[in-house]
Structure 1
Amino acid sequence: MMKNMRKLGVVAGTAIAVSLTLAACSGGGSTTPSPAPTSAASTAPATGDASETHNDADTMFAQMMIVHHEGAIEMADLAVEQAESEEVRSLAEGISAAQGPEIEKMTSWLEAWGEETAPMGGMDHGGMDMDGMSQEEAMADLESLSGGEFDRRFLELMVAHHKGAVEMAQTELQDGENPEALELAEQIIADQEAEIAEMEQLLTTL
């Protein structure tokens, strides 16, 4: 009698265990996987959208400012070699050092956005006229000068060049939407307006 009861207990226990296992398997299949895909779907696109959000104004700002900065660096490097005044050489070194990393930053944005790194149809190197001169004409003018004449002409042309960058940055603030591009535009305005004031002051002493 005791043996039969023991057998019944084992059978009952086994049946309960099997039913619980089946319930766990069926329940796990319907509930366990669902939170993971939902979580991944809600977070992954958000990070991508945050870094890639941009419009045509952001693209144009980055493309044109890269070319504009390249023109400024070309002029500044020449001034480092040829300027007579230590103040002018120091200023030129600062311009080149600041704008190189900004070019790299804007290039990385354009690549992340899937945009061309150069403006469509090309653009005059330097991005603007300086006292009615193109980048190539300005460089030729500077290369023909030396001493104090070089220093003064470099400052005059770089002031005009910087004013062009400020205008481009102001347009970005009005029309752009990418947060990083807007932040850089504000930084460019602050930095280049400060350098314009410094160069205009230097011009009074040469």
Structure 2
Amino acid sequence: MDARASSIRLLAGIAAAGLILTGCAAGADTSAGTAAPGGSSSSAAQGEQNDADVAFVQGMIPHHRQAVEMADLVAGRSQNAQVIDLAARIGGGQQPEIDMMIGWLEEWGAEVPAEGGDMGGMDMGGDMGGMDMGGGMGGMMTPEQMQQLQGASGPAFDRMFLEMMIEHHRGAVEMAQTELQDGADPEALALAQKIIDTQQAEITEMDTLLQQV
């Protein structure tokens, strides 16, 4: 009888241990199952744009558009090969960025700034995407400044173009620095850093050219 009782107690102990192990395994599975959605949500949040991203892109699109327009004025007005080359690089580099930023705003469901009525006529005034683009934002040129540039030629044009583009670039760099501080979207942040690197280098180049014209 003692041997039989020992066997029963042993079997009961094994069964109890099995229940405990099963419960631990179930607890581990539950923990693993809830960790994944939490991690996924955190990852998704890191890729979402915020208000600073939208403001940066909505401001940089018209800013780039004016830079491209200024660069387009160089042909036929400047005889300086270095100024002509610089303008070609500015226009060629910023137009693809405009197209990319428009795509972002469309994906985000945000308003794309209109092309200010008549960009070709130098009309940069008015409300563009909720912002006053009449020369008060980020080094933007006023319509009067753009008309002066359009009417110049030769060395006088070169000096005016370089001085205006330096101011324009400095404004873009400031806007990009604000985006780096406040933005969240990885692509927008990468563009902001690219703008800072590229346009700071071009400012240095233009400062040197100004001493030669």
TM over 0.5: yes
2:61 and 2:110 map into 1 onto residues whose CA distance is 13
The percentage of aligned residue pairs carrying the same residue is 50
2:58 and 2:136 map into 1 onto residues whose CA distance is 10
Structure (1 or 2) with the greater helix fraction: 1
Instruction: Give the deviation of 1:124 after TM superposition.
Output: 1.3
Contact kept? 2:47, 2:186, Cα under 8 Å: no
Q: Deviations over 1:30-85 (max 9, x none)?
A: xxxxxxxx9xx96xx87x94796111100000000001000000000001331120
What SS class does the counterpart of residue 89 from structure 1 fall into?
helix
Q: What's the RMSD between the two structures over aligned residues?
A: 2.4
Instruction: Give the deviation of 1:120 after TM superposition.
Output: 3.8
Q: Deviations over 1:75-117 (max 9, x none)?
A: 0000133112011011000000000000011111111111111
1:141 and 1:125 map into 2 onto residues whose CA distance is 16
2:188 and 2:135 map into 1 onto residues whose CA distance is 19
Instruction: Give the deviation of 1:123 after TM superposition.
Output: 3.1
Contact kept? 1:68, 1:127, Cα under 8 Å: no
Letter in 2 for 1:123: D
Instruction: Give the deviation of 1:135 after TM superposition.
Output: 3.4
Letter in 1 for 2:96: P
Aligned to 2:96: 101
Contact kept? 1:83, 1:150, Cα under 8 Å: yes
Aligned to 2:70: 75
Instruction: Give the deviation of 1:125 after TM superposition.
Output: 6.0
Aligned partner of 1:110 among 83, 105, 122: 105
Contact kept? 1:71, 1:135, Cα under 8 Å: no
Aligned partner of 1:134 among 124, 128, 141: 141
Name the larger-Rg structure: 1
Report the number of matched residues.
Answer: 162
Contact kept? 1:129, 1:135, Cα under 8 Å: no
Residues 1:178 and 2:173 aligned together:
no
Report the CA distance shift for 1:115/1:129 in structure 2 as closer, same or farther (over 3 A).
Answer: closer
5+ unaligned residues in a row in structure 2: which ranges? 1-32, 114-127
2:196 and 2:169 map into 1 onto residues whose CA distance is 9
Aligned to 2:14: none
Q: Which moved more, 1:112-121 or 1:171-180?
A: 112-121
Instruction: Give the deviation of 1:143 after TM superposition.
Output: 1.6
5+ unaligned residues in a row in structure 1: which ranges? 1-37
Letter in 2 for 1:186: Q
What SS class does the counterpart of residue 193 from structure 2 fall into?
helix
1:93 and 1:73 map into 2 onto residues whose CA distance is 9
Aligned to 1:87: 82
What SS class does the counterpart of residue 84 from structure 1 fall into?
coil
Q: TM-score of the superposition, structure 1-length normalised?
A: 0.71
Instruction: Give the deviation of 1:145 after TM superposition.
Output: 1.2
Aligned partner of 2:130 among 101, 104, 121: 121
Instruction: Give the deviation of 1:136 after TM superposition.
Output: 1.4
Q: TM-score of the superposition, structure 2-length normalised?
A: 0.69
Contact kept? 1:80, 1:89, Cα under 8 Å: yes
Alignment of 1:194-205 (within 5 A): 194-205=201-212
Residues 1:190 and 2:197 aligned together:
yes
Letter in 1 for 2:52: A
